Structure 1
């Protein structure tokens, strides 16, 4: 069945005149609306106005123009249904065989920080999605195009056969429903946020494909990287890659973990991550000093790791970074001299992104079999904590600084988690253990002699005093932990026995 009539109404006019000309050259009658009609006429395409089809003018500032039986009957009529064809004939309605529509730019309008609520609402398309859905539902007979990248293959089939194949029509219909679902998801998210609803009865989210990855966590697993439209925080999805191989699934996960940690710091900081856990964190007056501390924190584990930096990378830092094998270095900027040093390693991935950007409220999505968990991201910091010191001794100024560093890092370590810090760097990290004293023993063993005079951070309270005992024996002088155990007094007593100071924060930082 040849395509005889096409309805074209697009907001994005990319390549539309060439497509419409191609259709007209094949004898297809073109119907159009508003600005699209004017653009096609200016290009010399013979166009019929939508009012000539409906017999009804566009009204309400163009809000109502295609919402008409003469349009939707022409789209929804089943071609081999005799009753449908009889009704069309009786009402003098002609079928529409091809629909080309893309929608009012709602997403682009709300991306403007100065957009008003009223302006956003005016950019919600009604007629466009309705036509798309009608045509897509009847894709057995109707070709529907929403994406300009599909113009060429549709036109090629029309030129060769006068019509499109059923396979192509089904594929295009599926794309339409993905497109309208995504469009509605962005609108619903915007309106939900505007209304202040925190727990809607249903949750619809949408993501756009950024790239197909070589594989997932392991080579036998397929994987794709999607990005969230309009996300305003620091994101690997918006990073500019300056050098190196394509990012892998594990690269992205590890780099995201490093990004979330380095965001905690205002002073120059460097974070090294391996398998989603920090292996070294350092701060300093300069980035090269911070990097040296992060490297020395665990010079073994950083090999093959991810490094996140919250300042511009200069040549001195680059020369240090190039000495070992790293998968990724991310920073807000690189000097030309630093790039000249680092790009000599052709496989080293260099990512440029704003590592500090963060939306006011951010949610974390975690998939489970058949479901989805949603929670606020853990952004609870030291300044928000309800700080108390239950031990006989208060921390010194030096201990306070080390405790703050331990508390910033431990919330990003897989639970059960223990972090030892000293002199503006981590010196031991125990992650993902089934019991807390086990995590402490790992951190203490890693720190070795450095544990003497260090401080300890714990992501959750101590159920008994064994972790404090281990810390005391290792020479730890201060501990920061949430408190709240029914046996807190045992831990306080043990800390006093060793002359340690202990700080309670009254907030837990589990990370699963």
Structure 2
């Protein structure tokens, strides 16, 4: 049973409706900073984090929720007598739901900001709270995605609780998010550093689900580099039907081929194999030469040109 929730979100999309729903179910809400102010101004009965911690936020808001009264309320196992005895002795109340979304580092690292300005968008308290809640997902529902509000409200309305499978799924979503978030931060801090680190992590963000994979019975999705680099972050689809998995694979190979040349180059490619590659004085000349290499195989394929068409 959810009796107490902590809400602290950067992206406030639909959080007001979610908070109103929780209040209607007699859930006590704790919040901090801008979220507290937003909920309070919109008529939500909310308790400020500083009332719980007995400590004002400090360092321009860098320290708000990093406190035993918060994490001590999230982490105790409810069926562990020792845990429950400890928090009772410390006068800490349990927190049953943690709703947090992070500072938008993925987006801000791509913007024209100074190094120091980008560093300020590295979230510390947010990941700490959702990781604590995710570790204790059996007892604490963790919400890190604004798109999950509807599912949570539906389950609570129907059965008064959110089931174990959903809690586990949301916990996995947290660690998926924080691993990508940390990988993006690491890449940002190591930019232009040529040393080889102990661990190699990459951070990608899902762009869209494709109609199918390499074959119709397979599934696939497109992921983009979170820092804005790479082909998929820098293409514009002007017209035509939605790109398929095979289209995207062929585009990637064809684009890499033509970028091997300083001259104007054209590559015709199908099923991951170039069927014609040529250079020319003009785009038209390069295309005609590439086409004439194999006018049959190029039909229905991908054509890439490293110059303005």
**2:137/2:171 contact within 8 Å kept:** yes
**1:272/1:278 contact within 8 Å kept:** yes
**1:26/1:159 contact within 8 Å kept:** no
Alignment of 1:402-413 (within 5 A): none
Distance 1:301 1:294 in 2: 11
**Superposition TM-score, scaled by structure 1 size:** 0.57
Q: Which has the larger radius of gyration?
A: 1
How many angstroms does 1:144 deviate by?
A: 0.5
- Correspondent of 2:196 among 188, 199, 206: 199
The residue that corresponds to 2:283 in the other structure is: 287
Distance 1:287 1:177 in 2: 47
**3-state SS, counterpart of residue 237 of structure 2:** strand
Query: Which protein, 1 or 2, shows the higher relative CO under an 8 Å CA cutoff with sep ≥ 6?
Result: 2
How many angstroms does 1:28 deviate by?
A: 1.0
The answer as to 2:95 corresponding to 1:96 is yes
How many angstroms does 1:25 deviate by?
A: 1.8
Where does the alignment leave 5 or more consecutive residues of structure 2 unmatched? none
Distance 1:193 1:270 in 2: 32
How many angstroms does 1:15 deviate by?
A: 1.3
**3-state SS, counterpart of residue 193 of structure 1:** coil
Distance 1:236 1:74 in 2: 43
The residue that corresponds to 2:293 in the other structure is: 297
**1:158/1:164 contact within 8 Å kept:** yes
**3-state SS, counterpart of residue 61 of structure 1:** coil
Mean CA deviation greater in 152-161 or 211-220: 211-220
**3-state SS, counterpart of residue 308 of structure 1:** strand
Distance 2:284 2:118 in 1: 46
The residue that corresponds to 1:133 in the other structure is: 131
Distance 1:53 1:101 in 2: 17
Assess, with a 3 A threshold, how the Cα gap between structure 1 residues 15 and 256 changes in structure 2: closer, same or farther: same
Distance 2:77 2:303 in 1: 59
**3-state SS, counterpart of residue 238 of structure 2:** strand
Distance 1:222 1:108 in 2: 28
Assess, with a 3 A threshold, how the Cα gap between structure 1 residues 178 and 104 changes in structure 2: closer, same or farther: same
How many angstroms does 1:132 deviate by?
A: 0.6
The answer as to 2:182 corresponding to 1:184 is yes
Assess, with a 3 A threshold, how the Cα gap between structure 1 residues 223 and 108 changes in structure 2: closer, same or farther: closer
The residue that corresponds to 1:418 in the other structure is: none
How many angstroms does 1:270 deviate by?
A: 2.8
**2:184/2:227 contact within 8 Å kept:** no
The answer as to 2:271 corresponding to 1:272 is no
The residue that corresponds to 1:231 in the other structure is: 228
The answer as to 2:81 corresponding to 1:82 is yes
The residue that corresponds to 2:39 in the other structure is: 40
How many angstroms does 1:141 deviate by?
A: 0.8
How many angstroms does 1:272 deviate by?
A: 0.9
How many angstroms does 1:301 deviate by?
A: 2.4
How many angstroms does 1:256 deviate by?
A: 0.9
Aligned length in residues: 309
**3-state SS, counterpart of residue 190 of structure 2:** helix
**1:109/1:123 contact within 8 Å kept:** yes
Distance 1:236 1:172 in 2: 28
**3-state SS, counterpart of residue 167 of structure 2:** helix
The residue that corresponds to 1:19 in the other structure is: 18
**Superposition TM-score, scaled by structure 2 size:** 0.91
Superposition RMSD in Å: 2.1
The residue that corresponds to 1:242 in the other structure is: 238
How many angstroms does 1:238 deviate by?
A: 4.3
Assess, with a 3 A threshold, how the Cα gap between structure 1 residues 122 and 89 changes in structure 2: closer, same or farther: same
